[in-house]
Amino acid sequence: MAEPGALALARMRATGQIPLTAQVPAAWHRQAADAGRRLVEAVVPGRLPVVMLGWWDGVEPVAGGDTGVERTKTSQVVLLTFAAVLGACWPDRSEHPFPGSAAEEDIILAAVAALGPITASAVEGGAAARRHSKGALRRLDDARLLSIDGSEVRLGPAVALWSEEQVTAVRSVYDRLPRLEEPQ
C-alpha cells in the first residue's frame, strides 16, 4: 500500500477493489472524502481482505435525465436470485447484511425455484429454471454482490458498500425475502 492515494483511488474505481495488505493510510481516507467518497474495508471469510470506494449517504450520483449516469435494468431472475441469497445469508435484520453467513447453493436455488416460473423458459421445466438461476449466481459473483466458494455462497464485498439508508430500505422487505431452511 505504498502507492500514492490518487493512484490507489483510481485503481479502486477502475477495478472495484484492491487487496488490503496493510492499514489504509489516513491520506487515502481524506482524498476519498474530498471527492465525496468513502473507503470501505471488507473481508469475505476465506478470502483476502479488500478496500473499496463507496459513496457517502446523499452524494451518490442521481441517474437519468441529462445527468450522464445510467443504470442498467437487471433481469427478474438476477433480482430474485439475489433476494434468495439475501434471505439465506442475512440472518439478523438488526445487523448490516455484510458479511452475513454462508449458505449452500442448493438452498438458494431451491428458494428461487419455490417462487415458481420466473421466465418463459422456466415454464418449460425445472432444469432450464435452475440453469438461469445458476447463471444469475455467477453474474452476481462477477458483480461482487456475492462470493461463491465451491457450493458455499456468501454475500460479497459490494454489499459492504451499502449505506445505512440502503440497508434500511432492504430491511423494510426483509420478511418477504425468499427463504428455505437448510436441512438438519
> For 41-97, what is each residue's pLDDT tens digit?
888 777 788 888 888 777 676 666 777 777 778 888 999 999 999 999 999 999 999
Banded model confidence at residue 181, pLDDT cuts 50, 70, 90: low
Report the alpha-carbon distance of residue 133 to residue 118 in Å, rounded.
10
Between the two ends of the chain, the Cα-to-Cα distance in Å is: 44
* Extended strands (E) in the chain: 18-19, 37-42, 50-55, 103-104, 146-149, 152-155
- Asked if residues 20 and 41 have their Cβ atoms less than 8 Å apart, the reply is yes
Give the tens place of pLDDT for each residue, 130-169.
788 889 999 999 988 999 999 999 999 999 989 888 899 9
Check residue 100 and report its DSSP letter. -
Give the tens place of pLDDT for each residue, 105-137.
999 999 998 887 765 555 455 677 778 888 999
pLDDT at 165: 86
- Asked if residues 53 and 9 have their Cβ atoms less than 8 Å apart, the reply is yes
Instruction: Say whether pTM exceeds 0.85.
Output: no
Amino acid residing at 35: A
Cell representation of residue 169: 430500505
pLDDT at 114: 87
Burial zone of 76 (CB within 10 Å; 0-12 exposed, 13-18 middle, 19+ buried): middle
Provide the greatest CA pair distance for the chain: 56
Question: What's phi and psi for 16, nearest 5 deg?
Answer: 95, -30
The alpha-carbon radius of gyration of the chain (Å, integer) is 18
Question: Domains in the chain, please, with CATH?
Answer: 5-55 (no CATH), 76-175 (1.10.10)
